Amino acid sequence: MLASCKKSLYAAFLVVFYLGLGLSAYAQSGGTSSGISGTVLDPSGAVVANATVEIHNAVSGFDRTTTTDSNGRFSFPNVPFNPYHMTVTTAGFAQTAQDVEIRSALGVNVKVNLAVAGSSEAVTVEAGADLVENDPIGHTDVDRGLFDKIPLESQSSSVSSLVTLSAPGVAADSNGLFHGLGDHASNSFSVDNQPITDQQSKIFSNQIPVDSIQSLEVIPGAPPAEYGGKTSLVIVATTRSGQGMTTPHGSVNASYGSFGSSNVGVDLAYGGQKWGNFISANGLNSGRFLDPPEFRVAHAKGNEENLFDRVDYQLSTKDSIHLNLGFSRSWFQTPNTFDGQLATPWNGVVVANGGLDPNGNVVGPTDQRALIKSFNIAPTWTRVINPTTVFSLGGWVRRDVFNYYPSNNPFADLGPSNLQQETVSQYRTLANAGLRSDLSYVKGINNVKFGATYQQTFLTEHFNFGIVDPTVNAPCLDANGVPVFVGNPGLNDPTQCGTATTTNQSLYPTPFAQNGSFTPLLGCYDLTRPTPSSNDGCAGSASTLFPFRGHTDVKELAIYLQDAISKGNWSFNVGLRGDFYNGLVTARQAEPRVGVAYNIKRTNTVLRVSYARTLESPFNENLVLSSSGCNFAVVAALIPCQNAPLNPGYRNDFHAGLQQAFGRFAVVSGDYIWKYTHTGYDFSVFGATPIFFPIGWHNSKIPGYAIRVSVPEFHGFSALVVMSSVAARFFPPQTSGLGTTVGQSGTPFRIDHDEKFNQTTHLQYQPWKTGPWFGFNWRYDSGLVAGQTPCYSLANCAQSTTLNGQPAINMTDSFGTPLTADQEFEAGFFCGSQHATPTTPLPSPCLASQFGSTLIKVPAPNTADPDHNPPRIAPRSLFDVSVGDDNLFKGDHYKWSLTLTAINVTNKTALYNFLSTFSGTHYVTPRALTAQLGFHF
């Protein structure tokens, strides 16, 4: 196997390398940033030293300033691809301004000719012209100048929080998860052109630290041909660099806030014209690391450590290298419910046992934890072949190690209402290694890019589980058909049901009936029955944990050719991508990409349309379990099986939009989106455990719109508004992956990524440039589709019943399992004037006319519909405020900063989700106050 992997890796390397070198006539960049350099001359042609040169992008907020050297030269390294407004100012000459655009790694070299002060030759730029961008692909640009001052809700998932607040089309979910344009985490990152298509939410992996990022570009679908894998949202990140910083610059920051949250970080940038190093490190400790299922915090501690280092070195005038190094570690507790924290007696669903397990030990509170370690190495070599052509070759090795630890007493892991019925531990690794190369050719109206990427993802999935709920595989039923467990050692075989005599027989005077669903094999792993029957295949040995072991190697090759063409008022982006996927299944896909934009310069209006065909690769997290778990008899006995591996899906993605500038005061950008996907992905859970795995539905249809309004700085004031509406309609049946979940009736349903409307308004004001500043966020969410919410409708709701002949609702989940008092409280349920408390449930059944919720929009009786009127989380408005001063003592070289941040200042009680199949129940952050002190040099 090792020899086979080496051969395939070598072959892929040859494909990537030679395809790149073989087309030196057609090329484009290999990175996401480049540089602007040039020379400043006076009217006689003599060089001008000490002139101030500034570049600025009014929409993203990017702003840099430098001065010319003794030879009149200036340079801005590590500038993200974008248009910029450049001004040159020096004494005795008129200010000169012009627009400069970076389109590739070749960068831009300009010659600036100054005019004498008062001369009519001074350059002027048309108002609003530098606000619109004649690009067929809609996107959002965010520079560090903005996200240094935007209040971020999540400290442990800062990048996710930043994307959610600054980009339209993104729905917020718990634990740093975000849904891009109606898909479940079908997002990819491109970090200095390194593709990362695996999930980056906190419960799967460690995100790249926000301290390492210089700027972000967020592309909401239909991307250029260079991007593939998961393209619902493509997040292009440019990291920070020390190149050109001949004087060391850096900062030390420390913060403390609510829930005992403390954070310490340090960063340092230093270099010369040919080299540079940027390094950052930070550590976070919090009493609310993940979003808990209760508004109050219980068992939610966690810590995280990040280290990032970027090295740049210019070997010659033509060759340069760039190396990214990163390591992250996070440890955190799985937050407890009220039930789990107070150590609900084992088997409390059926019969109390004094808080003791079958062995007579005290169960104690639930204590589940996780540890994630991630490292990344990504070198890149770039060679300038000639003034119009650049070649780039890069590679990377990235590895995530995920450990999930159960409670010390396995019976403490038993949760109510099918949330957890097994104790489970997991060790999972995801190692991704790859090579990429591309060539750039930029001349005249053409900006051509040809490239290839090869990557292998090595997946290892190990877990052990044992049943801790005696009702999961009970051999006997009571007179009402309910699974029963009596006594210790209890009943182990259906043949014992009719004649059983136990210590608790007096509680069950009616003889038990045999459970036709009893599976003897599961008795081997049922910890509630320490001595299984000799008929179950265990030969009467003691029950133990079942070990699952899985491994696979996913190989992916992509080849693409694209051209960005600018001609007059027209702009075209045309490309073709070929994806070759070889994992547990194989798939091939040719993917045309095309976009057209037209700039109506008279009105500063850009009209655009785009189309992309994409291959949607399956999620890698627990892919082996999902695709081949049914080959294990124990897994097949525990969960219904589709017994079909996940195939890559394909998507047709259509966008139509416009961008409109209003003078120099505002620019509005909006897109309407249609996404049609064959094999729409989501996640399900293994049995009733915290182990998630991907599944595939037959297809999905996702229409929606995304709008962004940017107000560039005007007398210290700037604003950003993003808003969107996305419908996520999924169509059964489930076609692949382990298990069978909701929506098997054949009718479409709204999945819990669907949100009718959300918006973020960010206001920022700094009265004078060296003074204090003020930042304000208003986030409104109309609410995602909720999970297992009781409702009344004879056609659609299993909880429907009658009370005194009137429509009524049973307080159960969709599986018929009674909700606990705490679950009813978590959802804000009430019946008439009675509200559920953590210890007092509502009467069941409750009249449908009197049932409701303060936190969930429950459909009125007989109106529930999984497609057109599903239950939803109630709308919420959250307000965040930051106040700061970047130079408290008005220092020159050394500066002190102070920032005070308040998240959810009104202390709004609101949910992200409730009993979601994948996410469970989680509350938004209560009011959280943080103070941060920084020293900058």
Confidence grade of residue 354 (pLDDT, cut at 50, 70, 90): low
| Residues 156/302, Cβ–Cβ less than 8 Å | yes
Amino acid in position 793: S
- Considering 447-461, 502-516, 619-633, the range whose residues carry the highest mean pLDDT is 447-461
* Per-residue confidence (pLDDT) for residue 509, from 0 to 100: 58
* Per-residue confidence (pLDDT) for residue 338, from 0 to 100: 87
Burial 505-515 (b: 16+ CB within 10 A, else e): eeeeeeebeeb
Confidence grade of residue 257 (pLDDT, cut at 50, 70, 90): very high
| Residues 812/820, Cβ–Cβ less than 8 Å | no
Q: Can you tell me the distance from the alpha carbon of 804 to that of 783, in angstroms, rounded to the nearest whole number?
A: 34
SS3 at position 49: coil
* Whole-number Cα distances in Å, 108 to 129, 229, 273, 446: 19, 31, 16, 15
* Whole-number Cα distances in Å, 449 to 328, 389, 922: 33, 10, 44
Q: What percent of the chain has pLDDT over 90?
A: 56
Give the torsion through C-alpha atoms of 607, 608, 609, 614, to 10 deg.
Answer: -160
Confidence grade of residue 654 (pLDDT, cut at 50, 70, 90): very high
Query: Can you point out the beta strands (E) in 45-161?
Result: 52-56, 63-67, 73-80, 82-89, 96-102, 108-113, 140-143
* Per-residue confidence (pLDDT) for residue 503, from 0 to 100: 46
Give 926 or 363, the one with higher predicted confidence. 926
* Radius of gyration of the chain from its Cα atoms, rounded to whole angstroms: 30
Confidence grade of residue 781 (pLDDT, cut at 50, 70, 90): very high
Confidence grade of residue 452 (pLDDT, cut at 50, 70, 90): very high
**Residue 235: both structure tokens together:** 């997040």
* Per-residue confidence (pLDDT) for residue 480, from 0 to 100: 75
Amino acid in position 792: Y
* Per-residue confidence (pLDDT) for residue 256, from 0 to 100: 96
Q: Is a pLDDT exceeding 60 seen at residue 107?
A: yes
Q: Can you tell me the distance from the alpha carbon of 623 to that of 646, in angstroms, rounded to the nearest whole number?
A: 8
Q: Is a pLDDT exceeding 80 seen at residue 128?
A: no
| Residues 136/596, Cβ–Cβ less than 8 Å | yes
* Per-residue confidence (pLDDT) for residue 508, from 0 to 100: 52
Alpha-carbon 83 to chain mean position: 28
Chain mean pLDDT for the chain: 87
First to last CA, the chain: 53
Q: Which of 222-226, 416-420, 775-779 has the lowest mean pLDDT?
A: 416-420
What's the DSSP call for residue 525? Answer: G
| Averaged pLDDT, 900-905 | 96
* Per-residue confidence (pLDDT) for residue 507, from 0 to 100: 52
Q: Which secondary-structure segment (H or E) carries 341?
A: helix 338-341
* Per-residue confidence (pLDDT) for residue 742, from 0 to 100: 47
Q: Can you tell me the distance from the alpha carbon of 702 to that of 220, in angstroms, rounded to the nearest whole number?
A: 13
Beta-carbon contacts of 393 under 8 Å, excluding residues fewer than 6 positions away, are 16, 17, 20, 30, 380, 381, 435, 436, 437
Q: Is a pLDDT exceeding 60 seen at residue 234?
A: yes
* Per-residue confidence (pLDDT) for residue 15, from 0 to 100: 43
Write down the residue that tokens 């001949």 correspond to: 246
Q: Is a pLDDT exceeding 80 seen at residue 713?
A: yes
Q: Which of 63-77, 308-322, 592-606 has the lowest mean pLDDT?
A: 63-77
- Considering 22-31, 495-504, 607-616, the range whose residues carry the highest mean pLDDT is 607-616
The residue among 243, 198, 270, 192 whose CA lies nearest residue 32 is 192
* Per-residue confidence (pLDDT) for residue 1, from 0 to 100: 41
Q: Is a pLDDT exceeding 80 seen at residue 698?
A: yes
| Averaged pLDDT, 839-847 | 93
Q: Which secondary-structure segment (H or E) carries 17?
A: helix 2-21
* Per-residue confidence (pLDDT) for residue 83, from 0 to 100: 86
Q: Can you tell me the distance from the alpha carbon of 78 to that of 712, in angstroms, rounded to the nearest whole number?
A: 23
Confidence grade of residue 448 (pLDDT, cut at 50, 70, 90): very high
Beta-carbon contacts of 891 under 8 Å, excluding residues fewer than 6 positions away, are none
pLDDT tens digit string along 844-856? 999 999 999 999 9
| Averaged pLDDT, 279-304 | 94
Q: Is a pLDDT exceeding 50 seen at residue 21?
A: no
Confidence grade of residue 12 (pLDDT, cut at 50, 70, 90): very low
Amino acid in position 91: A
Confidence grade of residue 493 (pLDDT, cut at 50, 70, 90): confident
Q: Is a pLDDT exceeding 90 seen at residue 570?
A: yes
The residue among 481, 463, 485 whose CA lies nearest residue 472 is 485
DSSP β-ladder status, 33-41 and 108-113: parallel
Give 595 or 743, the one with higher predicted confidence. 595
* Per-residue confidence (pLDDT) for residue 115, from 0 to 100: 84
| Averaged pLDDT, 415-436 | 90
Query: Can you point out the beta strands (E) in 468-600?
Result: 476-477, 513-514, 546-567, 570-582, 586-600
Q: Which of 116-125, 323-332, 767-776 has the lowest mean pLDDT?
A: 116-125
| Averaged pLDDT, 587-605 | 95
Q: Can you tell me the distance from the alpha carbon of 378 to that of 316, in angstroms, rounded to the nearest whole number?
A: 21
Q: Is a pLDDT exceeding 80 seen at residue 70?
A: yes
Identify the bridge partners of residue 834 per DSSP, sorted by sequence position.
831
Q: Which secondary-structure segment (H or E) carries 825?
A: helix 821-826
Q: Which of 113-122, 241-250, 277-286, 474-483 has the lowest mean pLDDT?
A: 113-122
| Residues 681/649, Cβ–Cβ less than 8 Å | yes
Q: Can you tell me the distance from the alpha carbon of 232 to that of 284, in angstroms, rounded to the nearest whole number?
A: 30
* Per-residue confidence (pLDDT) for residue 604, from 0 to 100: 92
Q: Is a pLDDT exceeding 80 seen at residue 210?
A: yes
Neighbours of 177 (CB within 10 A): 27
| Averaged pLDDT, 559-581 | 96
| Residues 589/231, Cβ–Cβ less than 8 Å | no
Confidence grade of residue 506 (pLDDT, cut at 50, 70, 90): low
| Averaged pLDDT, 855-872 | 91
**What is 217-248 written as a DSSP string?**
EEE-SS--TT--BS-SEEEEEEE---TT--S-
SS3 at position 883: strand
Q: Is 106 exposed, middle or buried (0-12, 13-18, 19+ CB in 10 A)?
A: buried
* Per-residue confidence (pLDDT) for residue 14, from 0 to 100: 43
**Residue 310: both structure tokens together:** 């970027």
Q: Is 935 exposed, middle or buried (0-12, 13-18, 19+ CB in 10 A)?
A: middle
| Averaged pLDDT, 292-315 | 95
| Averaged pLDDT, 457-471 | 92
Output phi, psi for 338, to 5 deg: -60, -40
| Residues 553/9, Cβ–Cβ less than 8 Å | no
* Per-residue confidence (pLDDT) for residue 307, from 0 to 100: 97
Give 521 or 542, the one with higher predicted confidence. 521
Give the torsion through C-alpha atoms of 101, 107, 111, 117, to 10 deg.
Answer: 50
* Per-residue confidence (pLDDT) for residue 623, from 0 to 100: 95
- Tell which phi-psi region holds residue 395, choosing left (phi > 0), alpha (psi between -120 and 50) or beta: beta
Q: Is a pLDDT exceeding 70 seen at residue 740?
A: no
Q: Is a pLDDT exceeding 70 seen at residue 931?
A: yes
Q: Is a pLDDT exceeding 60 seen at residue 13?
A: no
**Residue 729: both structure tokens together:** 């309609």
* Per-residue confidence (pLDDT) for residue 42, from 0 to 100: 85
Confidence grade of residue 586 (pLDDT, cut at 50, 70, 90): very high
| Averaged pLDDT, 311-328 | 95
| Averaged pLDDT, 600-620 | 95
